[in-house]
Amino acid sequence: MPRTWEVTGVFEPSPKGAGLLRSLDHDLRSVPDDPYVPPELIKALHLRPGCLVHGLVQDQDKRAPRLFKVQSIQGLSPVAWKDLPPMDQGVPIDPEERLTLEHPDCPVAMRILDLFVPIGKGQRSLIVAPPRSGKTVLLQQLAKAIHLNHPGVTELMLLVDERPEEVTDMRRTVHGHVIASSSDHSTDNHVRVAELMTEYARREVEAGKDVVLFLDSLTRLGRAFNKETRNSGRILSGGIYSRALERPKRIFGAARKVQGGGSL
C-alpha cells in the first residue's frame, strides 16, 4: 500500500497546468521530492501562485509524491479560501495604521525614523544609501522593532544574491521567515524565488493578514532581471535593457493597504 504523509509547501504552478509545492525550509528551491500538484486539484480549489498549502501526499513509483488531499490553504479551510477574492480585486487605500518602531533600549535610528519617516501598514519604503553604510543592519533593526511592537504582523525577509554568511547572520537575527537565493545560486533562481516569495506575501494579504516584506536588495534583484531579459528590447544607459525593470517595479508596487482586508 502506498505510503502517505502530511506536507506543507508554497504552490508554484508549472507551464503545463500542474504544479509543485516548494518548501520554505529549502528557500523555495527546486528539489527532486517536491510534491506534485495535479491540475484537477488546482482548478477545484482555485490555487494561486504562492498559496501555502497543507495536505496529504502519496508515494508514487519512481516519481515525486502526489498531493491528493488539501487540508488547509493559507491556514483556512479550502471552502473558505475559495470565497476570498484576489488581492488585485481589492480596493487599495492609503495606510491607516502606523508601524511604531521605537521600543525600550532601541537604537536611536528607530526613534529618528518614527519622527521623520513614519511607516504605515501598506506603505512602500526604500533605503537609498552608498555601499557599506549599514543598510543591512538597519533592516535587521527594523525587523526586530516590528516583531516587538507588532507581533501580529507577518515578517518576510527576502535576500537576493547575498553572501551565504550574511544569510546565516540574518537568520540568527530576524524572527520571521528568511528566504534567500544567495550568491552561489543562479540568476534564474534569484528571479524565480523573488517572484514566488512576492506571490506568497500577496496570498497572506488575501487571507486578511498584515505583512511586511523586506528585500535586500532591490538593486541586486534588478541586476538579476536585467541579465534574464538580455536581448529583449533596446539598451538604456548603464547597460540596462528597456524591459528589465518591469518585474522589479511590479514587486515593489505590490505594496498596498486593502480596504477591509490585510496590507503589504
**pLDDT digit string (tens) for the chain, length 264 residues:** 678 889 999 999 998 889 999 999 999 998 888 999 999 999 999 999 999 999 999 988 778 899 999 999 999 999 999 989 999 999 999 999 999 999 999 999 999 999 999 999 999 999 998 888 889 899 999 999 999 999 999 999 999 999 999 999 999 999 989 999 988 888 899 989 999 999 999 999 999 999 999 998 888 888 887 787 766 667 766 667 767 677 888 888 899 999 989 999
CATH of domain 4-84: 2.40.50.140
> How far is it, in rounded angstroms, from Cα 159 to Cα 245?
18
- Do residues 66 and 38 touch, judged by C-beta distance below 8 A? yes
Number of neighbouring beta carbons within 10 Å of residue 164:
13
Rounded to the nearest angstrom, the gap between the alpha carbon of residue 229 and the centroid of all alpha carbons in its chain is 21
> How far is it, in rounded angstroms, from Cα 206 to Cα 77?
14
CA distances from 82 to 72, 90, 254 (A): 11, 15, 22
pLDDT of residue 21: 96
Domain ranges of the chain: 4-84, 89-258
The DSSP-derived string for 70-129 is: EEEETTB-HHHHHTSPPGGGS-EE---SEE----TT--HHHHHHHHHS-EETT-------
pLDDT of residue 224: 82
CATH class of 89-258: alpha beta
Residues β-bridged to residue 21:
11
The strand pair at 98-99 and 92-93 is best described as unpaired
The strand pair at 211-216 and 154-160 is best described as parallel
pLDDT of residue 131: 83
pLDDT of residue 227: 80
Number of neighbouring beta carbons within 10 Å of residue 39:
13
* Residue 261, all three cell numbers: 482586508
Can you tell me whether residue 173 is helix, strand or coil?
Answer: helix
173 Cβ neighbours under 8 A, 6+ residues apart: 140, 143, 144
> How far is it, in rounded angstroms, from Cα 145 to Cα 119?
12
Burial letters 90-110, b for 16+ CB under 10 A, else e: beeeebeeebebbeeebbeeb
pLDDT of residue 24: 92
pTM (whole model) above 0.85 = yes
201 Cβ neighbours under 8 A, 6+ residues apart: 50, 156, 211, 213, 254, 264
CA neighbor of 66 nearest in space, from 102, 40, 103, 96: 40
> How far is it, in rounded angstroms, from Cα 107 to Cα 210?
24
